[in-house]
Chains A and B, each alone.
Chain A
Amino acid sequence: MGKPRFGFWNVILWVVLLLGGYSLILRFARGLGASTNLSDAFPWGLWVGFKLFAVALAGGGFTLAAVVHIFNLKRYHPVLRPMILTAFLGYSAFICSLIIDLGRPYRVWHPMVMWNDHSVMFEIAWCVMLYTTVLALEFAPAVLERLGWQRALVWLRGVMIPVVILGVILSTLHQSSLGSLYLIVPGKLYPLWYSPLEPVFFFVSALCAGLAMTVFESWHSRKAFGKQLEQSLLVSLGRVLAVALSFYLALRFVDMVHRGVFHLLLLPRTETYLFLLEIALLLIPMLLLFQRRIHQNPTALYFCSVLTLLGFVTNRMNVAITGMEASSGTYYFPKWTELAITMSLVAGAFAVFWLAVKYLPVFPPAHETHLAQSARVAAPSAAASPAVPELTHAGS
């Protein structure tokens, strides 16, 4: 089954990258006006929605770094690396799309020297810079192990705890600040989405999206390399995801009750339908994930993670696009170039992830104390399982 699928996906990948490359040239040769459907009435579009989503996917990085390093639940150690890598790629995609989206990309460094601490965007700029660095440091052991640079590894381990703590704080700030961006548009963002709790929603949903991403990646990694996480671990993640999703949805519900906006759901509008779609895509996996028979079936678990991820894509796009349309007085749909560039960034991230899993000890249970062993495990043939029971034991 593996071979033909890869041929197919390879073709897709190259087509997307070619279109994306052409769009990129168009954007930098002709400007934003020629390469997007953005306008004075609709200054933020698909690329902003994509940025919000890319960062949400990175939520697994800080969640698991905290779980493993701070809360010392070593059982989850095998999940950490793929999530750190995902987070790093998510942030890299964010930075790429930011550079493409900025009117003057060569000034992207300005927030470093030109400060405005009243600006949410300023906070975001700093969080992105610092947290991307943190993620690079957190993922560095995988690369160093492969290279066998022991001294750098020892040094890195010495500073890892402060780095992890810094990383958790930075991402907490960053995830929530992406929601805070929209606090200043009470008259513009449609009331189904505008809420003073937006920063909290963004933060909690990033936790959920991160967990879903873990399940999603493990399934694909098994298909491609036979490398995956222990089923028992995935089941645990599924349960945590169920609880996290219920908390998120309860929060949204309570917020809507307090703001008294339920009557809006009776209006036959695009906003209503897309809002219901968003909630359904989160509610269905939540209900499914509470059932034992779903846990036992890896494909069902995967299906739930896909629904969750789609739910959060819809949520971020609703905030960035759907919810802003009515007040703008225009209709916005991304130009094909915007879509092509976005899809290229996604495809690029997938490709880098695939390469990393293939050549670096990402999925194997590279417990940091077993360096020599994990360096060897880098070969695809070695399965993840042997060391896991040991780790489970250490965590309990």
Chain B
Amino acid sequence: MSKALLYDATICIGCKQCEQGCATENSLPYNDSIAAEEKQSEHKYTAVLTKGDKFMRRLCMNCQDPACASACPVAALRKTAAGPVIYEEGRCMGCRYCMLACPFNVPKYEWGKMLPKVRKCTMCPNRVAAGKQTACAEICPTGATKFGERDELINEAQKRIRDNPGQYVQHIYGLSEVGGTSVLLLSSVPFEQFGYSANMLTEPMPLLTSRVLSKVPDVVMLGGVLLGGIWWITNRRDDVAAAEDSEKKSVFEDKKRGKDENGEA
């Protein structure tokens, strides 16, 4: 079963300890000025956004069928069975197609470095593998970020919405967006207010390209046969014409340097 995170914005107090925990876990710098940056970046994998008394987290959604992993030509990004979408920096050649492909604009790049890497939240794969919670869930003082089995978290989210109908937007963000994500969000205000698109496809993004890519072997096979066949017909026509035309002036010329001829006719 795959693990997931449930973030309930109505419980969040905006203390930003998740940012702190994330920075520690990933050996990133963290101080007041970084805390004030309300966006994900190469040195900040999760950000708590504040609007009045409302909060919302941004982090990698760790999609069930991630666009970035399908886009990556060298499989540096990969969805693990446990849930996290991990990044193997040793494979990455820096084409940045993942950044383009990600519907949530999550992957960031180390533009200032000579040997840059893609940077993003990878849902603490080592901790998850060791049976622990993610750093952000573990440190959260209110339980706003909760770690667990995805199925169980979905049940819990549905229950919370059912039990407190006035408190939530009637939607679990990430349940069906882009085919489902390993980060599930609950909120009392529309998700668009915090930059979460309301028009996400409900099918996995990789389908958009795999539909086309799946035709590649057919194109190779059928194209090869078709072109070969056309060549055979057109050249056969030439052979016949040449035979009928034999002993005429063009052949006379050819004969003079016959040794060059073997290949083409």
| Residues of chain A at the chain B interface (Cβ within 8 Å) | 30-34, 38-41, 43-44, 66, 69-72, 101-105, 107-108, 110-111, 114-125, 150, 153-154, 157-158, 160-161, 165-166, 168-169, 172-173, 176-177, 180-181, 183-188, 199, 324, 368-369, 371-372, 394
From B200, B213, B264, A118 is in contact (CB under 8 Å) with B213
Q: Smallest distance from the beta carbon of B264 to chain A beta carbons, Å?
A: 5
Instruction: Give Cα A369–Cα B262 distance, bound, in whole angstroms.
Output: 10
From A66, A101, A188, B100 is in contact (CB under 8 Å) with A188
Q: If the complex has contacts A72-B231, A117-B213, A369-B260, are A110 and B74 also in contact, measured as CB distance less than 8 A? A: yes
Tell me if A70 and B231 are in contact (CB < 8 A): yes
Considering the complex, which residues of chain B in the window 203-241 have a beta carbon less than 8 Å from any beta carbon of chain A?
205-206, 208-210, 212-213, 216, 219-220, 223-224, 227-228, 230-231, 234-235, 237-238
Tell me if A371 and B109 are in contact (CB < 8 A): no
Instruction: Give Cα A122–Cα B76 distance, bound, in whole angstroms.
Output: 12
From B200, B205, B223, A184 is in contact (CB under 8 Å) with B205
> For residue A110, which residues in chain B have a CB less than 8 angstroms away from its CB?
73-74, 91, 93
Instruction: Give Cα A39–Cα B250 distance, bound, in whole angstroms.
Output: 63
Instruction: Give Cα A34–Cα B113 distance, bound, in whole angstroms.
Output: 9
Tell me if A173 and B216 are in contact (CB < 8 A): yes
Tell me if B75 and A180 are in contact (CB < 8 A): no
Instruction: Give Cα A111–Cα B263 distance, bound, in whole angstroms.
Output: 36
Chain B contact residues (Cβ within 8 angstroms of A): what range? 35 or more
Q: If the complex has contacts A40-B41, A103-B94, are A119 and B264 also in contact, measured as CB distance less than 8 A? A: no
Instruction: Give Cα A70–Cα B233 distance, bound, in whole angstroms.
Output: 9
Q: Smallest distance from the beta carbon of B160 to chain A beta carbons, Å?
A: 28
Tell me if A114 and B100 are in contact (CB < 8 A): no
Q: Interface on chain A toward B: helix, strand, loop, or mixed SS? A: helix
> For residue A123, which residues in chain B have a CB less than 8 angstroms away from its CB?
213, 216
Convert B3-23 into 0s and 1s, putting 1 for each residue whose CB lies closer than 8 angstroms to a CB of A: 000000000000000000000
Tell me if B73 and A125 are in contact (CB < 8 A): yes
Given contacts A32-B109, A41-B105, A72-B231, 7 further A-B contacts (CB under 8 A): A33-B113, A38-B111, A44-B96, A107-B93, A119-B71, A119-B72, A169-B223
Tell me if A116 and B219 are in contact (CB < 8 A): no
Tell me if A43 and B238 are in contact (CB < 8 A): no
Interface residue? B201 (CB, 8 A):
yes
Interface residue? B179 (CB, 8 A):
no
Tell me if B114 and A31 are in contact (CB < 8 A): yes
Tell me if A199 and B205 are in contact (CB < 8 A): no
Q: A367: nearest residue on chain B (CB-CB)?
A: B264
